[in-house]
Chains A and B, each alone.
Chain A
Amino acid sequence: MSTLSREERKTVSIQRLTRSAVLLAAALVLGLIEGFLPPLPAPVPLRYGLANVAVMATLIFIGSFEAFSVAFLKSIFVFMTRGLIAGAVSMTGTLLSVGVMIALERLFKRRISIFLLSISGAIAHNIGQLIFLTLFMQYRISVLLVGPYLLVFGILTGILSGALLYAMMRPLQSFFRRNG
Chain B
Amino acid sequence: MKDKVEETRDRRVFIRSRDLFVLVALVAVALILYFVTWSTRNSSELVAKIYYDGQLIEVVELNSGTERDFQFDVEPSITIRQFADKSIAFMSSDCPDRICIKSGRIRRAGEFAACVPNRFLIVIEGADPSSGQEDVDLVA
B139 and A137 form a contact (CB under 8 A): no
- Give the residue name and chain of the B residue nearest to A1 (CB): B1
Apart from A44-B113, A145-B125, A162-B14, 13 more pairs, CB < 8 Å:
A1-B1, A39-B103, A83-B96, A111-B8, A114-B12, A119-B22, A134-B138, A139-B121, A144-B133, A149-B110, A155-B26, A166-B14, A173-B9
Residues of B within 8 A of A179 (CB): 2
A86 at the B interface (CB under 8 A): yes
B13 CB–A CB distance under 8 Å? yes
How far, in whole Å, are A110 and B2 apart by their CA atoms in the complex?
Answer: 14
Q: Is A115 located at the chain interface by the 8 A CB criterion?
A: yes
A60-83 with Cβ < 8 A to chain B: 60-61, 82-83
B106–A144 contact, CB under 8 A? no
B82-125 vs A: 1/0 string, CB under 8 Å? 00000000000000110110111010111111101101010101
Query: A173 vs B108: C-alpha distance in the bound complex, in angstroms?
Result: 45
27 A-B pairs whose Cβ atoms sit less than 8 Å apart in the complex? A1-B1, A44-B103, A45-B112, A61-B9, A82-B96, A86-B96, A86-B97, A86-B116, A89-B116, A113-B12, A114-B14, A115-B15, A131-B138, A136-B116, A137-B116, A137-B121, A138-B53, A139-B54, A145-B133, A146-B110, A148-B33, A148-B110, A151-B30, A162-B14, A163-B14, A173-B10, A179-B2
Q: Contacting chain A: which of B34-42, B61-69, B71-79?
A: B34-42
Chain A contacts with B in 68-110, Cβ cutoff 8 A: 82-83, 85-86, 89, 110
A131 contacts which chain B residues (CB < 8 A)?
A: 138
Complex-state Cα separation, A151 to B51, whole angstroms: 25
What is the predominant secondary structure among interface residues of chain A facing chain B?
helix
Binding site for A on B (CB under 8 A): 1-2, 5-6, 8-16, 19, 22-23, 26-27, 29-31, 33-34, 36-37, 40-41, 51, 53-54, 96-97, 99-100, 102-104, 106, 108-114, 116-117, 119, 121, 123, 125, 133-139
Instruction: Give 6 nearest A-B pairs by CB, closest first.
Output: A138-B54, A145-B110, A39-B102, A115-B15, A43-B111, A151-B30
Residues of B within 8 A of A152 (CB): 27, 30
Measured CA separation A137–B135 after assembly (Å): 16
Task: Say how far A140's CB is from chain B's closest CB, in angstroms.
Answer: 4
Of chain B, the residue at the smallest CB distance from A133 is: B114
Contacts of B109 in A (CB 8 A): 145
Known contacts A45-B99, A131-B138; A139 and B34 CB within 8 A of each other? no
Provide the bound-state CA to CA distance between A89 and B116, in Å: 9
A28 at the interface (CB under 8 A from B): no
